């Protein structure tokens, strides 16, 4: 098989009903048709639509040197919207998946007992997972890493909410929840799939000169709209969120973290079982929690409770924090103990999230519903005109479609006007040695993704 730069060339077909895995070749034809990420996921979804598919895929640039190229995307039918949803998975998920030897994973059917999928070194196994069924997300991550003997394993998994198949259930990236606003935790639960565990020690072929171009683009980003800003705290004022929340975030912040190759560390670690000002961790078990979920954090602060601790509870049971906080607000809950009890109850409650989970007005067109609502609903530090766009809502949908296809974090995508469509086209052309790739071709791939997902 001829190597396709940036990809491993493998699609895994994991039949959960039979317990069998097969590997198929990622064809040049499919890459030229849909490029990657959500766009190829959608093609695979349609190909297998009669077999209850859930598709996990990486973008064209995922795990390369392209800035913010950490992304994997989970595509399937959402129990929240009843339609197609694409979940962006950040941190290390896309990198670990691709370097474990698989660009795309097609999960078919349902297992008859709890299982997990284990991916490493180009190998795949569907293993029994009764040992962690019923355990919370944090304990399950530890036990799965222990079972496979490697602390660096990345996991996508569910807690009690997913096992109970409730629409508020999230698929979690390791301990810290995710940007899943589609209830795919319930889809994992219905498939009896507790977890996907991945360890990526492989390598990718990239085109000559690609690394240098990516370094130049990253430097441009670092000196552009994000310069001098960091963390979730700096999103507050530009997004129009209650500015008193910024001080609350700052006083509890221990450190900021960034996902793979990201120039903007938005992940914020809150320390509350020891002083946040003590930089070292002194052996206190579970000193705090890490999140990039600003909508949930803000909503919990607006209830007047210790928001990071409420986020921790959501992460442990596997609930979508922003939607859960919205429900707690309706119940009139105003203290942490009551909130934790209510969150426990929500992990068994078939209630659905309602509307936008942001505590600000959101004006997005209907097509936006195919992408995660956890992403800031407008550019954060720059006007849309800096991205070469006019209509803010249309811009958001297309920018998300682009990020989910090339494998760029969709939060980064709304922070970085320096990453223009023209530069992306140049880098795709160079990487794929695809001389006639053009802005028009990229636009038609994005149009197809949006049309097929919305149809």
Q: How far apart are CA 88 and CA 412, in angstroms?
A: 12
Q: How far apart are CA 140 and CA 52, in angstroms?
A: 26
For residue 131, the minimal CB distance to ligand SF4 (Å) is: 31
Q: How far apart are CA 268 and CA 257, in angstroms?
A: 6
The residues, any chain, with a CB within 8 Å of residue 311's CB and separated by 6 or more, are: 177, 270, 289, 291, 293, 296, 297, 300, 321
Q: Give me the helices (H) in 22-136, please.
A: 28-34, 37-47, 93-99
Query: Judged by CB, which is closer to ligand SF4: 56, or 375?
Result: 375
Under the rule (CB under 6 A), what is the footprint of ligand SF4?
68, 70, 90, 258-259, 262, 264-267, 292, 409, 411-412
Look-up of token digits 């929500």: 346
131: its two tokens: 């040992």
Helices 421-432 and 210-222 meet at what angle, rounded to 10? 160
How many alpha carbons fall within 13 Å on the CB side of residue 354? Answer: 8
For residue 257, the minimal CB distance to ligand SF4 (Å) is: 7
The residues, any chain, with a CB within 8 Å of residue 265's CB and separated by 6 or more, are: 230, 231, 256, 257, 258
For residue 236, the minimal CB distance to ligand SF4 (Å) is: 15
Query: Judged by CB, which is closer to ligand SF4: 10, or 292?
Result: 292
The residues, any chain, with a CB within 8 Å of residue 440's CB and separated by 6 or more, are: none
**Beta-sheet strand order (sheet of 104-108):** 20-25, 10-15, 104-108, 54-58, 72-77, 84-89
Query: Judged by CB, which is closer to ligand SF4: 68, or 80?
Result: 68
For residue 400, the minimal CB distance to ligand SF4 (Å) is: 13
Query: Judged by CB, which is closer to ligand SF4: 89, or 193?
Result: 89
For residue 292, the minimal CB distance to ligand SF4 (Å) is: 4
**Roughly how many angstroms between the first and final C-alpha of the chain, as a whole number?**
35
The residues, any chain, with a CB within 8 Å of residue 116's CB and separated by 6 or more, are: 126, 127, 129, 132, 144, 157, 193, 194, 195, 196, 197
Q: How far apart are CA 173 and CA 395, in angstroms?
A: 28
For residue 259, the minimal CB distance to ligand SF4 (Å) is: 3
Where does residue 366 rank: exposed (0-12), middle (13-18), buried (19+ CB within 10 A)? exposed
Query: Judged by CB, which is closer to ligand SF4: 118, or 260?
Result: 260
Query: Judged by CB, which is closer to ligand SF4: 90, or 453?
Result: 90
**202 alpha carbon, distance to own chain's centre:** 22
For residue 233, the minimal CB distance to ligand SF4 (Å) is: 13
For residue 355, the minimal CB distance to ligand SF4 (Å) is: 23
Query: Judged by CB, which is closer to ligand SF4: 140, or 292?
Result: 292
For residue 262, the minimal CB distance to ligand SF4 (Å) is: 3
Query: Judged by CB, which is closer to ligand SF4: 70, or 252?
Result: 70
Pairing mode, if any, of strands 172-173 and 193-199? unpaired
For residue 407, the minimal CB distance to ligand SF4 (Å) is: 11
For residue 180, the minimal CB distance to ligand SF4 (Å) is: 13
Query: Judged by CB, which is closer to ligand SF4: 156, or 259?
Result: 259
Q: How far apart are CA 198 and CA 93, in angstroms?
A: 8
Query: Judged by CB, which is closer to ligand SF4: 100, or 292?
Result: 292
Query: Judged by CB, which is closer to ligand SF4: 258, or 427?
Result: 258
């Amino acid at each position: 098989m001829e190597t396709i730069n940036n990809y491993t060339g493998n699609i895994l077909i994991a039949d959960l009903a039979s317990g069998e895995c097969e590997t198929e070749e990622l064809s040049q034809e499919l890459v030229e048709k849909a490029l990657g990420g959500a766009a190829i996921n959608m093609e695979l979804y349609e190909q297998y639509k009669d077999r209850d598919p859930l598709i996990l895929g990486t973008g064209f640039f995922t795990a390369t040197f392209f800035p913010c190229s950490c992304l994997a995307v989970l595509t399937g039918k959402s129990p929240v919207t009843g339609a197609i949803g694409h979940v962006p998975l950040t941190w290390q998920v896309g990198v670990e998946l691709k370097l474990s030897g698989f660009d795309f994973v097609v999960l078919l059917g349902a297992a008859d007992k709890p299982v997990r999928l284990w991916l490493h070194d180009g190998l795949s196994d569907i293993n029994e997972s009764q040992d962690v069924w019923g355990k919370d997300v944090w304990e399950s991550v530890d036990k799965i890493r222990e079972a496979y003997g490697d602390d660096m394993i990345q996991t996508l998994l569910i807690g009690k909410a997913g096992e109970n198949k409730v629409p508020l259930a999230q698929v979690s990236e390791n301990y810290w929840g995710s940007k899943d606003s589609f209830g795919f935790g319930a889809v994992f639960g219905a498939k009896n799939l507790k977890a996907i565990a991945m360890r990526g020690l492989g390598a990718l072929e990239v085109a000559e000169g690609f690394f240098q171009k990516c370094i130049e683009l990253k430097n441009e980003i670092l000196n552009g709209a994000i310069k001098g800003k960091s963390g979730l705290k700096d999103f507050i004022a530009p997004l129009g969120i209650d500015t008193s929340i910024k001080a609350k975030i700052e006083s509890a912040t221990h450190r900021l973290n960034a996902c793979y190759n990201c120039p903007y560390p938005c992940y914020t670690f809150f320390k509350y079982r020891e002083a946040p000002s003590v930089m070292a961790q002194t052996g206190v078990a579970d000193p705090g929690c890490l999140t990039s979920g600003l909508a949930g954090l803000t909503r919990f602060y607006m209830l007047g409770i210790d928001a990071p601790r409420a986020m921790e509870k959501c992460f442990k049971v596997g609930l979508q924090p922003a939607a859960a906080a919205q429900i707690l607000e309706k119940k009139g809950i105003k203290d942490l103990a009551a909130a934790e009890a209510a969150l426990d109850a929500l992990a068994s409650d078939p209630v659905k999230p309602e509307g936008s989970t942001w505590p600000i007005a959101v004006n997005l067109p209907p097509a936006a519903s195919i992408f995660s609502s956890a992403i800031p609903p407008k550019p954060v530090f720059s006007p849309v005109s800096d991205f070469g766009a006019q209509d803010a809502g249309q811009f958001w949908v297309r920018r998300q479609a682009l990020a989910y296809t090339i494998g760029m974090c969709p939060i980064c995508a709304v922070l970085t006007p320096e990453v223009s469509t023209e530069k992306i086209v140049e880098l795709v052309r160079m990487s794929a040695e695809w001389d006639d790739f053009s802005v028009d071709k990229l636009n038609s791939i994005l149009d197809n993704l949006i049309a097929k997902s919305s149809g």
